[in-house]
Amino acid sequence: MRLPVPGPRDLLQLVERGGDALETVLGAVPRLLSLLDQAEDLLGRVGGLLDRIEGTRQGADEVVARTDATVGRADALVTSVEPLNQRLAALLDRLEPPLTRLQPTLDRLAETTDPHEVDALVELIDHLPNLAHKMETDIVPVLDSLGSVAPDLHDLLDVSRELNEMLSQIPGISRMKKRIDEQQEAEGRG
């Protein structure tokens, strides 16, 4: 294959085309410089955006670290509360049936109890230790002794009946007794 040798005409066409190409290239230089300015501006904005993204990422890392610490404390709290929660659940399971049965009574008590009655009940409760002491030291010993007093009282009644019978045998006493009975009746004691 043979290579053609350029002739003068080829050279002239090349110069004409080169001038047009040079003119086109020179016309594109301002646009190229404008594009370079815009690219530099865009790179500056991208750099600022990357800086802000990095700051946001560091802030997010701090929030994640604090969140991890909070989650750890929450896990520890849940772990420590779990036994208490189980005890409370068991207690509520045992208390539910009696509380359900007591609900009507509690409702009625709430509807019918006045504040002054509550105050009186509190005062009574305040006095209960003293009342219990008095019961043990004063009243219960008297009640215990009543068992031994009853036969004595029966004996005393028997003796007084016999004495009445003997007195009724004395002349004039029956009239005196009748007068005393009439006076007591008149006075309203009889």
Distance (Å, whole) CA 74 – CA 70: 6
Distance (Å, whole) CA 142 – CA 149: 10
| This prediction's pTM | 0.32
Domain residue extents for the chain: 13-88
For 152, phi and psi rounded to 5 degrees? -65, -40
Distances 19 to 6, 12, 81, 140, 142 between C-alpha atoms, Å: 19, 11, 89, 138, 143
Q: pLDDT band at 19, cuts 50/70/90?
A: low
Distance (Å, whole) CA 134 – CA 86: 45
Identify the H or E element spanning 64.
Answer: helix 8-112
At residue 142, the pLDDT reads: 82
Rounded to the nearest 10°, the torsion over CA 18, 23, 26, 31 is -120
Q: pLDDT band at 129, cuts 50/70/90?
A: very high
**Is the model's pLDDT at 23 over the cut of 80?**
no
Of 180 and 147, more confident = 180
At residue 190, the pLDDT reads: 47
Distance (Å, whole) CA 130 – CA 125: 10
Distance (Å, whole) CA 6 – CA 14: 10
* Token pair 């409702």 in the structure block, residue: 107
Q: Where would I find the beta strands (DSSP E) of 60-182?
A: none
Q: pLDDT band at 21, cuts 50/70/90?
A: low
